[in-house]
Amino acid sequence: MAEIQVIPVASLPAIQPGDRLGCLIARSAVSLLPGDVVVIAQKVVSKAENRLVRLDSISPCSYAVEVGRFMGRDARLAEIILRETKRIVKMDRGILIAETRHGLVCANAGVDLSNVDGGTTASLLPLDPDASAFRISAELAESVGWMPPVIITDTFGRPWREGLVEVAIGLFGVKALRDYRGREDPQGLKLAATVIADVDQLASAAGLVFRKDSGIPACLIRGYEPAGEAGSARDLIRPPERDLFR
Amino acid sequence: MAEIQVIPVASLPAIQPGDRLGCLIARSAVSLLPGDVVVIAQKVVSKAENRLVRLDSISPCSYAVEVGRFMGRDARLAEIILRETKRIVKMDRGILIAETRHGLVCANAGVDLSNVDGGTTASLLPLDPDASAFRISAELAESVGWMPPVIITDTFGRPWREGLVEVAIGLFGVKALRDYRGREDPQGLKLAATVIADVDQLASAAGLVFRKDSGIPACLIRGYEPAGEAGSARDLIRPPERDLFR
């Protein structure tokens, strides 16, 4: 087994709506090799796709005023969060855990003011993060001549554990899960329940070079051995019938 | 920001009770450099520490028989799981999510039959994973002359998401959380709630080279920039008063 490298893409400009992220990464200081996985933080994808909403464009409904009070945040931000929410999973102690239209479960339905314009504009998750990953791969292909695997990540909390980690919310050209079921361990015991979320581990590895204050929103991961045929980030979403914490 | 390398320790022998893991890693094919973080899977730590229980040494109590039936597993395995359990967090659809004595929340209280001896012996989590990490670091110091940071990991599931990821359960010489609170993003907005679980991201990066069928239970992570003063894996455990999913 070879080593894995996580190579930050350090020379990207500040991303603006309409920017073609794949082209900017292709023009950056790093050279993409066959097999490299490109990992990109959601924030710059949302900016490039203009998934931005100015707070002063929003009139909060009365429930958003209530939710804003509960969260200790601006009611217009609460209104944007509610518009992105399909189902409220938990609302307690000032924290709102929501299921988004994509089926992702995270704080504030992925809506966030940081790293945009200093607090007057919210960023929303991409509408279809798999499609975003596909498009960025196609943009990269214009330069490199092949479509590299692309993972789009966001920073999520977890129940029971402190701290946030980077997880995959969209992907192209890479398989979400590595399935050991039916295989045997070195002692010949069948592995009963072992399915590893490879793309979440790739996302977290990328998270080590993404810094919230350093402006590194993308990296390459070199040396990763694919888990199988490429799939969708939807493969990471636990269906309701298997969800013990719904 | 420099790149990060995840370097598998590929040449370890099969680990036996009493083995000094740090010495075995120091004697392996990889060379440890100052700043490298050593990451080791729980299973080999538990084996080295003889945290192993033969199923045929166990007489299950009547509740363990009930739990075994619920899980579709051997009642003696259920008995071992219950002995490691401080609190049952969820018991539904054949799955038991337990809080261990350490405060970790995971399936089956971290008890597992895989990668031991083919199914007749269960491995338990180390009694004090931070102390295990410290001891392994001290063993490494005998060879390299300094005490490297050490992380002990296990493979945990997550609510709402499919697949397992590697997380940190014990550590020495490294800080669990990178705290951005009070710092500003590049646009000058104060980061309100951003605390990143760096050691869980290090664990997941290591998980990319740990394979359930390849016998690679350890790696070095090179190029990681410490998050601050070294702490404990207890820093990752959310206290009850902040836990929305208790």
Task: Give pLDDT tens digits for B49-99.
Answer: 999 999 999 999 999 999 999 999 999 999 999 999 999 999 999 999 999
Query: Mapping DSSP to helix (H, G, I), strand (E, B) and coil, where does residue B143 land?
Result: helix
Of the partner residues A163, A215, A245, the one whose CB lies closest to the CB of residue B159 = A245
Q: What is the rounded average pLDDT for all residues in chain A? A: 95
Q: What is the rounded average pLDDT for all residues in chain B? A: 95
- Asked whether the ipTM of the predicted complex exceeds the cut of 0.90, the reply is yes
Average pLDDT score over residue span A172-188: 91
Residues of B in Cβ contact (< 8 Å) with A166: 201
Residues of A in Cβ contact (< 8 Å) with B237: 160-162
Residue from A108, A201, A238 whose CB has the most chain B CBs within 10 Å, to mutate:
A201
Report d(CA B165, CA A143) in Å as an integer.
Answer: 34
User: Among residues of chain A, what percentage have pLDDT more than 90?
Assistant: 87
Q: Report the residue of chain A nearest B103, measured CA to CA.
A: A160
Name all domains of chain B by residue range, CATH numbers in brackets.
1-50+126-239 (3.30.1330.100), 52-125 (3.90.1660.10)
Average pLDDT score over residue span B111-138: 96
Categorize the per-residue pLDDT at B237 as very low, low, confident or very high, splitting at 50, 70 and 90: very high
- Residue type at A244? L
Answer whether residue A153 shows pLDDT above 80. yes
Residue from B44, B52, B162 whose CB has the most chain A CBs within 10 Å, to mutate:
B162
Task: Provide the token pair at A170.
Answer: 């969209």
Average pLDDT score over residue span A37-65: 98
- CB contact (8 A) between residue B213 and residue A115: no
Q: What share of chain A is helix, strand, coil (3-state, %, to 5)?
A: 30, 25, 45
Helices (runs of H) and strands (runs of E) counted in chain B:
6, 12
Answer whether residue A212 shows pLDDT above 80. no
Task: Provide the token pair at B53.
Answer: 């229980």
